[in-house]
Amino acid sequence: MHEMSLCQGVLKILQEQAEIQNYSRVNSVTLEVGELSTAVPESMEMCFDAITRGTLADGAELIIVRTRGEAWCRKCEDLVPVKERFGPCPQCDGVDIELRAGDALRIQELEVD
């Protein structure tokens, strides 16, 4: 499953950061998941739960923050909201757009002990 490897990636970062920041427990993780990313939040929560069992993040809460898709349309010279990764501009229907936000998957905040 796609989400499984994403969660493994998150756990790896948590473990690396534990050494750098010197913590031994993760209480909660706030994860930014763009609306255009392929990760399904519900699956992320399930996988995170399973993968962190017995680790420093065992029982940690996963808080998912969704960010909207946003792109720069060269024709409109405007930032426009997009619903699909390769969708057209909602204003002019053009495809000369550049994705600016909404496909990210990154850790925003960590609560640790």
Distances (CA, A) of 18 to 7, 14, 89, 99, 113: 16, 6, 42, 33, 10
Q: Which residue, 12 or 75, is less far from Zn ion as judged by CB?
A: 75
DSSP run (H or E) holding 80: strand 78-81
CA dihedral 39, 45, 47, 48 (to 10 degrees): 110
Residue 91 near Zn ion by CB under 5 A: yes
Contact pattern from residue 93 through residue 112 relative to Zn ion, giving x for each residue in contact according to CB under 5 A and a dash for the rest? -x------------------
Among 13, 40, 46, 76, binds Zn ion (CB under 5 A): 76
The CB-of-87 to Zn ion minimum distance in angstroms stands at: 11
The span of 31-39, 52-60, 64-72, 88-96 binding Zn ion (CB under 5 A) equals 88-96
Nearest by Cα to 51 from 2, 4, 17, 112: 4
Residue 27 near Zn ion by CB under 5 A: no
Give me the residues that bind Zn ion (CB under 5 A), please. 73, 75-76, 89, 91-92, 94
